[in-house]
């Protein structure tokens, strides 16, 4: 099996080189960039399986690249020196799959890369296609349609939807979803990650996201999928 390809984008040479070295030691093929305005062309040429993306970059910021869709739908781990919750939530809103605050352990980052790549391959399911009234989730093809409308989801949005849809009416707390979908815990990952992804799924799936048909909130407990 060919090595997964990782694009590392950071304008700090030391950070970029250390991250790239640890990823190469773990068997990944790595491409390095120090600017944001060359990411789109490099994604098209290099075709990475995952992008490690700094927030503050010359040319174009990591947030701009996510917001404008210039990462090509590839799973993204954001790197940032910002510690405010609002910044983390904004990055997740724009489509990041994970968020690592500087300074960080290179070994922890490599572990997160493994987890995001593993989850991007899709959740295990007893059936390849989950079909409900007006909603179709093709687990094998990783495609979602609502009626006749194809819905574009990020890798993590799809994982979350497929996990919930595979267990209709079962209530999951944010901590359980972090463990099952992100293979993480509240100790290492902000539970707001789940809230943000649920909100984005509702915006993409629902006619009225404020009155969701598919993913409902059980107040004080968590979320469940309504078949």
Residue 187 has pLDDT above 70, yes or no: no
Distance of CA 114 to the CA centre of its chain: 13
Range of the domain at 67: 5-120
Provide the CATH number for the domain around residue 198.
Answer: 1.10.10.10
More confident residue, 224 or 188: 224
My answer on whether 100 and 78 are in the same domain is: yes
State pLDDT tens for residues 130-176: 999 889 999 888 999 999 999 999 889 999 999 999 888 888 999 88
Q: Which helix (H) or strand (E) holds 198?
A: helix 192-205
Tokens at 105, concatenated? 């352990």
Q: Choose among 101, 126, 123: nearest CA to 112.
A: 101
Residue 188 has pLDDT above 60, yes or no: yes
My answer on whether 110 and 138 are in the same domain is: no
- Can you give the pLDDT at residue 184? 72
Q: Choose among 197, 203, 152: nearest CA to 177.
A: 197
How high does pLDDT run on average in the chain?
A: 89
The domain boundary residue, chosen from 72, 99, 120: 120
Confidence of residue 122 (pLDDT cuts 50, 70, 90): low
- Can you give the pLDDT at residue 92? 82
The domain boundary residue, chosen from 78, 95, 120: 120
Number of domains in the chain: 2
- Can you give the pLDDT at residue 52? 97
My answer on whether 55 and 75 are in the same domain is: yes
SS3 146: strand
More confident residue, 67 or 34: 34
My answer on whether 52 and 141 are in the same domain is: no
Whole-angstrom Cα distance, residue 177 to residue 198?
Answer: 11
Q: Which helix (H) or strand (E) holds 151?
A: strand 149-151
């Amino acid at each position: 099996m060919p090595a997964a390809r990782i694009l590392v984008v950071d304008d700090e040479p030391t950070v970029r080189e250390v991250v790239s070295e640890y990823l190469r030691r773990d068997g990944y093929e790595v491409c390095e960039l120090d600017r944001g305005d060359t990411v789109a062309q490099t994604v098209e040429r290099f075709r990475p399986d995952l992008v490690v993306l700094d927030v503050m970059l010359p040319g174009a910021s990591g947030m701009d690249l996510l917001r404008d869709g210039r990462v090509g739908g590839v799973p993204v781990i954001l790197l940032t020196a910002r510690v405010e919750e609002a910044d983390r939530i904004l990055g997740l809103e724009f489509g990041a799959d994970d968020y690592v605050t500087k300074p960080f352990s290179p070994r922890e980052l490599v572990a997160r890369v493994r987890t995001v790549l593993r989850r991007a391959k899709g959740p295990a399911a007893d059936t390849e296609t989950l079909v409900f009234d007006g909603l179709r989730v093709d687990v094998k093809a990783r495609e979602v349609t609502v009626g006749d409308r194809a819905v574009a989801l990020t890798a993590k949005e799809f994982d979350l939807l497929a996990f919930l849809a595979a267990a209709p009416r079962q209530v999951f707390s944010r901590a359980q979803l972090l463990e099952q979908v992100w293979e993480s815990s509240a100790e290492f990952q902000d539970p707001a990650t789940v809230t943000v992804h649920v909100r984005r799924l509702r915006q993409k799936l629902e006619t009225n996201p404020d009155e969701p048909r598919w993913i409902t909130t059980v107040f004080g407990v968590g979320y469940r999928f309504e078949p």
